[in-house]
Amino acid sequence: MKIFVVKSVIEGENECVLMGAYPTLTEANKRVEELTKKYKQDKETRYTTEQTELTNF
């Protein structure tokens, strides 16, 4: 099963935070836009969408 995850990436860090998982790219991209707008003052954090596959379900 393929899903699209939204990640929060902090500049200079090797880690990211999973912000949510969505069944479609459109839904994931909409969430990225919402987060980017809501936290626009935070210049060190960016939000991205990545496709991944769930196994063992």
Q: 10: domain range?
A: 2-50
Residue 41 in any domain: the answer is yes
Q: What is the pTM of this model?
A: 0.83
Residue 39 in any domain: the answer is yes
The number of domains in the chain is: 1
Residue 56 in any domain: the answer is no
Residue 31 in any domain: the answer is yes
pLDDT per position as a tens digit, 12-40: 998 999 999 999 999 999 999 999 999 99
Residue 55 in any domain: the answer is no
Look up residue 54 and give its DSSP letter: -
Per-residue pLDDT band for 1 (boundaries 50, 70, 90) equals confident
What Å distances lie between residue 52 and 20, 23, 25, 45, 55, CA to CA?
A: 12, 11, 11, 21, 10
Where helices occur in 1-57 by DSSP H, the ranges are 25-38
State the Cα–Cα distance between residues 19 and 48, nearest whole angstrom. Answer: 10
Residue 18 in any domain: the answer is yes
